[in-house]
Structure 1
Amino acid sequence: MLEVIEIQTKAIQGRTEPYLCRLSDNQLYYIKGPQAGTRGLINEAICAWLGQKLKLTIPDYCCAYLPPDILKYDPQARRVLGDGDTVVFGSRLISGLLEVTHSNVLKLPVKFARDLFLFDYWIKNEDRTMTEHSGNPNLFYRAGSDNYVVLDHNLAFDEDYHFSRNAHLHPGYKVWFNSQQDVLWQDHYSAKLTIALQGFEQYASSLPATWLDEEPDYLQQIRRTLSQYNDDEFWEVLI
């Protein structure tokens, strides 16, 4: 497991107050620790893995050990990250990213917008919104390119997720419902989700034992959520 060796600065954005840190591979990562909650950390790790399996552009990620000594003389970081001797989630820094705005949303590539919309529906993530006036898209891009980067899934697997209340706020909503779908769209996406889940049990069991011990029943809840695509009800709201 990698280790945090240097704490740099707190991110400007993000309710969980991630910190930019250097890890023992000498790369920079934004880390989330206790401020995200144990379920939030599990969500980040599982959704990053699933998103990459679905070919979404999600930064390289890892679990890393946060030693207590590195926080000893940094009270601001300690307020957010705790006293250390914990395992944090790290998302590798991709430099030069800009946050998507409403005008950018209108230019999203159709395939990407559809895949992202289905992904967030699958993982019950309401924390990706964009309206004409505001939003929290958790979606970034490189200037002058169609390379979109997807971030922040600590609020996924929400048991109170409500499709009809929130889906219309998603950046990919209009693309999904306003563009023509192939007649075999359900078969296409069902196969993609099946492939994405291959190896899930092995990956889930590799998550830090401290996380799993603190939330012993949470993986079962996640499994139930991810298996719902096998039911007709899952697809009915997408027609």
Structure 2
Amino acid sequence: MLDVIEIQQKASQGRTEPYLCRLSDNKRYYVKGPQAGAKGLINEAVCAYLGSALQLDVPAHCCAYLPQGLLRFDDAASRVLGDGDSMVFASELVPDLLEVTPTSVLTMPEQYARDLFLFDYWIRNEDRTMTENGGNPNLFYRAASKQYVVLDHNLAFDSGYDFNANANVHLAYNAWFGAQHDALWRPHYSAKLAIALQGLPQYAATLPPAWLEAAPGYLAEINDTLSLFNSDEFWEVLI
């Protein structure tokens, strides 16, 4: 397990106010704590695992220990990260990222865009929007490696998720509905989702007990949501 050894600065973006920190592996990570809530932290970790399993470019991540001593004289960080002696979610800093724009999102590879659209539908995430006037994409581009990096999933598994009301503002809506899928698209994605979900219990066993105790039964709810891909109803809205 990694420890937070230095709190550096608050991120310029993000409603949960992540802090850039250095961890005991001497790498820098954006850290989220109590401000995100127990469910938000679980969402971040689970979706980072699932996104990686689906071969989306999600930054390396971990759950890290935040010692009390680092926050003793930092009131601003304490307001967001708590009093310390706690577990936080850490997402490794990827340098030179630019948030996608209505123009740059058009250059995203079509298959990657489709995978991202399905991923957000699967995890009930309405927080990746883009219109000609802007939006909240939570998607970044790194020119050096031509990567589209996927971030921020604390609002996933929304009980009020409404696909019909929100799908058309998802940044990859046109990639999914703008071209015809081949005959094997459903078996292709069903197999990928099944493999990702199969590995979730083992990954979930590594999550901090304090998070799970603060949100009893939540992992079971997440599993029930993710298992919906086994029903015809899950796929019908995607045709």
Interval of TM-score (by shorter of Structure 1 and Structure 2): over 0.9
- Where does 1:7-46 land on structure 2 (aligned, <5 Å)? 7-46=7-46
- Where does 1:99-118 land on structure 2 (aligned, <5 Å)? 99-118=99-118
Q: CA RMSD in A?
A: 0.9
- Where does 1:1-239 land on structure 2 (aligned, <5 Å)? 1-143=1-143, 146-239=146-239
C-alpha distance in 1 between matches for 2:170 and 2:145: 21
Question: 1:145 Cα deviation (Å)?
Answer: 5.3
C-alpha distance in 1 between matches for 2:4 and 2:185: 44
C-alpha distance in 2 between matches for 1:6 and 1:187: 46
What amino acid maps onto 2:68 in structure 1? P
Question: 1:80 Cα deviation (Å)?
Answer: 1.2
* 1:80-124 per-position Cα deviation (integer Å, ceiling 9, x unaligned): 111111100000000001000000112211000000000000000
C-alpha distance in 1 between matches for 2:67 and 2:6: 10
C-alpha distance in 2 between matches for 1:179 and 1:144: 29
The percent of aligned pairs where both chains have the same amino acid is 66
C-alpha distance in 1 between matches for 2:94 and 2:111: 22
Asked whether the equivalents of residues 109 and 146 of structure 1 are also in contact (C-alpha less than 8 Å), the reply is: no
What amino acid maps onto 2:48 in structure 1? A
Q: Report the secondary structure of 1:106's partner residue.
A: helix
Question: 1:45 Cα deviation (Å)?
Answer: 0.4
What amino acid maps onto 1:149 in structure 2? V
Question: 1:198 Cα deviation (Å)?
Answer: 2.4
Asked whether the equivalents of residues 64 and 88 of structure 1 are also in contact (C-alpha less than 8 Å), the reply is: yes
What amino acid maps onto 1:212 in structure 2? L
Q: Which consecutive unaligned segments of at least 5 residues does structure 1 have?
A: none
Q: Report the secondary structure of 1:129's partner residue.
A: coil
TM-score normalised over the length of structure 1: 0.98
C-alpha distance in 2 between matches for 1:195 and 1:87: 28
C-alpha distance in 1 between matches for 2:110 and 2:134: 22
C-alpha distance in 1 between matches for 2:196 and 2:82: 34
C-alpha distance in 1 between matches for 2:175 and 2:199: 30
Question: 1:146 Cα deviation (Å)?
Answer: 3.2
C-alpha distance in 2 between matches for 1:75 and 1:7: 12
Question: 1:128 Cα deviation (Å)?
Answer: 0.6
C-alpha distance in 2 between matches for 1:76 and 1:173: 39
Question: 1:202 Cα deviation (Å)?
Answer: 1.3
TM-score normalised over the length of structure 2: 0.98
C-alpha distance in 2 between matches for 1:200 and 1:149: 21
Query: Following superposition, which runs of at least 4 residues in structure 1 exceed 4 angstroms of deviation?
Result: none
C-alpha distance in 2 between matches for 1:200 and 1:145: 29
Question: 1:212 Cα deviation (Å)?
Answer: 0.8
What amino acid maps onto 2:23 in structure 1? L
What amino acid maps onto 2:57 in structure 1? T
